Chains A and B, each alone.
Chain A
Amino acid sequence: MTATTSKADSPQRGTRRGLRRFLASDNPAAWLMLAPALVLLAWWYAVPIVESVVLSFQHVAEFNFAQRSFAGLQNYQQLISDPAFRKSLEITGAFVLGVVPAQTVLALLIAALLHSISRAQGAFRTAYFVPYMTSTIAITTIFMQLFVKGGVAATALSVVGVPNQTWYASTHLALAFLVIVYVYMFVGLYIVIFSGGMETIPKDLYEAASIDGAGPFRQFWSVTLPGVRPFMAFVLVTGIIQAVQVFDQAYVIAGGTVLGSPAGATSTIVIFIYEQAFRLLDIGYASAATVFLLACMIVLGLLSRRFTPRGDRL
């Protein structure tokens, strides 16, 4: 869609000089290389997403798409006054605040440590990526065994004052449990991202720093950290987006009972959407929640952009 407008705009219409200038610019090559991705994105992502935006203004009979009626803003009005929706936003917010700093700092430190050694990097990297590759069901189930009342982790943590109880069944601890499982599974992903990013830092920068008498901490601060900036941007942005979309782990914790168990303590925003769409079969309402979430994320993105230095903006 964008392709046609910009192709028409950029050359001065009709003149041969304009056409020649257009052909000599990056435009043809850029659009040629983007074409496969844009066609696929438009067809498989943009169309279904636009479809859900349309659905958010409709009432849909339970899974009978032929029966739709215009609902105006009714879905949205219902949404704003729905305490379950508001709670799911709060839970998601708390979850993201718990997950993102922990996984980013841990992944950065481990990747930097891994970057500084010369042997067995591959073996370590593989071990760190294991939880991300293993099925969510298996990892979550094992963690549930560890955090059951009297389980290894629950007992160990009771020493520092956390009551020894079944974490995932406690309304106070279930979200913390979800954060722990999630960080455990995702930190390996971000270690691999940082680890690959650090390989793009020129080796002679470290040599120069070392000649200047910089120790390991100084090198981390003035060489590694600036060197992985583009990857830090990637890890923060995708880390937040993926954490907002947490679903699988919460699904397993519910264990076939009501999603968001116990008592809605792990009812994140995507759990809420899934519940509305697939259990209560209210597609219009679920779509309204999606659009609302999207709007929130866009507003947050624009706000954070204002506070980001120009060079680091996406």
Chain B
Amino acid sequence: MTAYRARRRAVRGVQYGILSMFGLIMAAPLIFVIYASLLAPSDYFRIVAPDQLTLQNYSYVFGHAPIGRWYLNTAFVTASVVVGAVIVNTLASWALARFRFTGKQTVFLSVILILLVPIQAYLIPLYLQIVNLSWLNTYWSLIVPFLVNPLLIFLMRQYFGRLPKDLEEAAAIDGANRLKVFWRIGVPLTMTGIATQAILAGTWTWNSFLVPVTFINNPSMFVLTLGLDSLQAQNYTLPTVQMAGVVLLTLPIVVMFLIFQRFIVPSMASSGIKG
């Protein structure tokens, strides 16, 4: 028995060892970026004593840009897209995963078809639509087109498809209607999928650049990616200052990820109902 335990402990050690090493490799660039953002510009790419570290890059950014406003714009747009996208895509994917209806396969294949087209290819027609609505330089242009996402519909459909087949029948016997089954059983059982949707929609919107750079040119409507890029254009070439910009951009989504990833947990289906 002790030999068995010792072996188990060794296996655990190897598992954690591999995971930690991989974690270090993956986190290294951000650690480097944070470190570099604390260096004086003349110390870039050098190793310095901790007391040589400085916040001057951050004070430069804050002093030269309405960064508070940009944060507010980005947070508002991202929060709107996350909430809206989770609702729209979850509803659609439930229909695609759980219901039998005429045209189901056609709808799903159309969703995949749209996924196949790179945004660069239809950006100009999309831009013209935004112009026609007079939505240039508005939050609407950054929110409304992104409330639906074929990739998230596809992802969530896979989650809903994992729920037991007889779920609806069992619930119908208890007198629950279709929407009640969705809301009371489907959604609570797939919080992992919903959290993943929120993480993805949040990351894409927060970091999005190509779309805002096309639809927004009024500095007070800038999102963070756009604002930091506009600083670069104004002789903002010091790498340490740019690193501070990357940190300011990245830390909030890391925090967002930490919050949402807590919902990536065993679904109740694993313990309650047979899968």
B-contacting residues of A (Cβ < 8 Å)? 2-3, 5-7, 9-10, 25-27, 29-31, 33-34, 36-38, 40-41, 43-49, 51-52, 55, 65, 110, 113-114, 116-117, 122-135, 137-139, 142, 184, 188-189, 192-193, 195-197, 199-205, 216, 230-231, 233-234, 237-238, 241, 244-245, 247, 270, 273-274, 277, 283, 286-287, 290, 293-294, 297-298, 301, 314
Contact = CB atoms under 8 A, between A and B. Distances in A.
Contacts of A51: 122, 125, 128
B250 interface: yes
Contacts of A245: 118
Nearest to A45: B114
A117 B154 contact: no
A9 B266 CA distance: 42
B203 A46 contact: no
Interface string B115-159: 111101111111011000000000000001101101101110011
B121 A199 contact: no
B92 A37 contact: yes
A273 B114 contact: no
Contacts of B167: none
B10 interface: no
A30 B93 CA distance: 10
A297 B257 contact: no
B162 interface: yes
A44 B126 contact: yes
B100 A26 contact: yes
A41 B148 contact: yes
A26 B118 contact: no
B129 A133 contact: no
Across the A-B interface, the 4 shortest Cβ-Cβ residue pairs: A37-B92, A6-B102, A48-B125, A127-B23
Nearest to B33: A138
Interface string B87-131: 111011011100111111011111111111110111111101100
B26 A188 contact: yes
B148 to A, nearest CB: 4
Contact of B91 (A2, A7, A33, A277): A33
A240 to B, nearest CB: 10
Contacts of B122: 45, 48-49, 51-52, 290
B75 interface: no
Interface of B: 11-12, 15-16, 18-20, 22-24, 26-27, 29-30, 32-33, 87-89, 91-92, 94-96, 99-104, 106-118, 120-126, 128-129, 144-145, 147-148, 150-151, 153-155, 158-159, 161-162, 178-179, 182, 192-193, 195-196, 199-200, 203, 207, 225, 243, 246, 249-250, 253-254, 257-258, 261-262, 264-267, 269-271, 274-275
Nearest to A289: B121
- Which DSSP category, helix, strand, loop or mixed, fits chain B's interface? helix
A290 B158 contact: no
Given A200-B269, A297-B116, 18 more contacts: A29-B95, A29-B179, A37-B88, A40-B88, A45-B117, A47-B129, A49-B114, A51-B122, A110-B22, A116-B15, A122-B262, A126-B254, A131-B29, A134-B30, A135-B250, A193-B196, A202-B269, A301-B112
Contact of B120 (A30, A199, A234, A274): A274
A157 B30 CA distance: 23
B115 A36 contact: no
Nearest to B29: A142
Given A33-B94, A196-B264, A6 B159 contact: no
B158 A234 contact: yes
A301 B100 CA distance: 24
A259 B275 CA distance: 50
B120 A135 contact: no
A7 B254 CA distance: 45
Contacts of B22: 110, 128
A130 B91 contact: no
A5 B113 CA distance: 20
Contacts of A286: 121
B249 A135 contact: yes
B29 A5 contact: no
B117 A49 contact: yes
B18 A113 contact: yes
A199 B178 contact: no
